[in-house]
Amino acid sequence: MKKFLVVFAVIASFTMNQTAVAQEVNDDLIRVFKWYNSRDKEYVILADGEIQEGQLLQWLYKEKTFMFYAYKSPGADRVAVYRWTNPTTKDQVSIAEDEAKDSDMMQKGYTLKSLQFYAPIRRAENHIPVYRWYKKTLKDWVTFTENAETDKYFKLGYGFKTFQYYGVMRNEYER
């Protein structure tokens, strides 16, 4: 009987541990990456699987860098984030819902609006601020997290830093 109780306790402990780990996984979260195209001097922000990686490499995008997690579905205190493309300047920009009017984006030459993800709009313990920057000489918008190398982008000519939304960091190792 004593062996049975020990075995039962070990199995119960293992099962409860697995349940706790499973609760930490959120299937609604999606990874968001920054890619860079050195030929076009263009950054693009993409949710995992938004464009196939092979296609991005064929288009000469490289330097894939994890930025943060976002949500796949809408929810309380979340904003939709859309990718807009300017075929003339080859610029791709991620714009939060209501950050700019569709008519203004189209007037600036942007088309092909497509939903990327949903991002938190309220600060929380595991959230990191995300900003949009603009480089006037290239007419290029980029999105970077607060912990990005700010001085580097100032030296590259980016300015007009504007808060957009928050990204989700799942743990301290993803900063």
Domain-wise residue ranges, the chain? 30-174
Determine the pLDDT at residue 92: 87
Say what the alpha-carbon torsion angle 2, 6, 7, 11 is, to the nearest 10 degrees. 150
Q: pLDDT digit string (tens) for 22-46?
A: 335 578 899 999 998 888 778 889 9
Q: What are the tokens at 66?
A: 């994890």
Q: pLDDT digit string (tens) for 66-79?
A: 999 999 999 999 99
Residues recorded for the chain: 175
Determine the pLDDT at residue 19: 38
Instruction: Give the whole-angstrom CA distance, residue 71 versus residue 117.
Output: 6
Count of H helices and E strands in the chain? Answer: 4, 9
More confident site: 60 or 3: 60
- H/E stretch holding 6: helix 2-24
State the chain's mean pLDDT as an integer.
81
